[in-house]
């Protein structure tokens, strides 16, 4: 029962922390009622639009932190009370519950009569703690889309989809008993972010969504991504074609010329010979091809997209 009480208090405190309306408080500190300025949202984007970029960044940092801290605390509590909490929350239940509580706290803060933000910054803090790998891909997507379009809302929507896709692709058996709570949270968080952006989606479709002001950093970012994409595309092609493949085929060809005693550490049958060595080498390289072509396609897409963007602005 003590473990259940600790878990319940963790979830409650996570909600109360997530519900702290930093955007509203920072704006009030500057003498502005953010609920009646701009879009009326308490998030970092609206604060930055009304008060300036530095205050928007401050609110983003604070909202990010209030999402990350509850999950970090729940992780420490789970480590200390692992066996006691397992019957009530399972392996990841408390971390996910704290994450969801903090996220919902930002969306529906009790301090502002449940009128909250859209969950992007707080959600970023939460998923950074839960899914650090996919979060990097989502962050890259956000930076890319903002640099290309200047639409923060569109960037947030795309980043959410990429986060979910990367998690599902790279997580073995995402719906296994020890992972399904994380998977459900990932899906639910993305759905909630899209629902909270309903008005933005309508404005995007009608072409009257608010855009960020141009900044010298935007073209620099797009050119950097363009150069990196071209470099990775060309470099991976050269490396795979002229280094990896020849070395692998040559290595197996040399092995085929050796006796069974000389290759005792390799479980190769007596049928392994110069004629079959190329088949074995090809079989060894075959699993690489889907990822190689995916990387090539992604690099080509990024290079073309960033090149086209130079004519948009």
pTM of the model: 0.78
Q: What's the token pair of residue 250? A: 């040559």
DSSP 8-class letter at 214: P
> What Rg, from alpha-carbon coordinates, does the chain have?
25
Q: Identify the CA nearest to 77 among candidates 186, 4, 180.
A: 4
Give the separation between CA 260 and CA 281, rounded to whole angstroms: 18
| Tokens, residue 304 | 């073309």
Tens place of pLDDT for every residue, the chain, 313 residues? 577 788 889 999 999 999 999 999 999 999 999 999 888 889 888 998 899 889 999 999 999 999 999 999 998 888 766 666 665 566 678 889 999 999 999 999 999 988 888 888 999 999 999 999 999 999 999 989 988 888 989 999 999 999 999 999 989 899 988 788 899 999 998 998 999 899 999 999 998 888 887 778 788 888 899 999 999 999 999 999 999 999 998 888 887 777 766 665 666 666 777 777 888 888 888 999 888 998 899 899 888 888 877 766 5
Buried (b) or exposed (e) across 210-229, using 16+ Cβ within 10 A?
eebeeeeebeebbeebbeeb
Per-residue tokens: 141: 């997507």
């Amino acid at each position: 029962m003590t473990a259940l009480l600790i878990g319940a208090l963790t979830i409650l405190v996570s909600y109360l922390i997530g519900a702290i309306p930093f955007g509203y408080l920072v704006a009030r500190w500057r003498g502005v009622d953010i609920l009646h300025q701009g879009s009326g949202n308490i998030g970092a984007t609206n604060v930055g639009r009304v008060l300036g970029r530095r205050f928007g960044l401050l609110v983003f940092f604070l909202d990010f932190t209030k999402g990350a801290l509850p999950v970090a605390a729940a992780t420490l509590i789970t480590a200390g009370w692992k066996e006691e909490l397992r019957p009530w929350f399972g392996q990841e239940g408390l971390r996910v519950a704290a994450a969801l509580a903090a996220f919902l706290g930002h969306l529906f803060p009790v301090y502002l009569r449940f009128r909250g933000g859209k969950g992007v910054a707080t959600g970023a803090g939460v998923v950074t703690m839960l899914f650090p790998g996919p979060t990097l891909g989502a962050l890259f997507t956000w930076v890319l889309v903002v640099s290309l379009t200047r639409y923060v809302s569109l960037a947030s929507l795309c980043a959410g989809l990429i986060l979910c896709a990367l998690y599902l692709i790279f997580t073995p058996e995402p719906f296994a008993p020890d992972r399904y709570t994380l998977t459900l949270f990932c899906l639910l968080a993305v759905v909630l972010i899209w629902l909270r952006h309903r008005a933005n989606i309508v404005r995007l479709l009608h072409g009257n969504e608010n855009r960020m002001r141009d900044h010298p950093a935007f073209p620099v970012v797009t050119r950097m991504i363009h150069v990196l994409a071209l470099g990775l595309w060309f470099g991976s092609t050269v490396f795979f074609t002229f280094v990896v493949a020849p070395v692998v085929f040559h290595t197996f060809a040399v092995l085929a010329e050796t006796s069974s005693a000389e290759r005792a550490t390799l479980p190769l049958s007596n049928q392994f010979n110069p004629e079959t060595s190329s088949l074995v080498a090809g079989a060894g390289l075959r699993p690489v091809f889907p990822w190689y072509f995916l990387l090539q396609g992604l690099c080509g897409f990024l290079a073309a997209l960033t090149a086209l963007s130079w004519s948009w602005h």
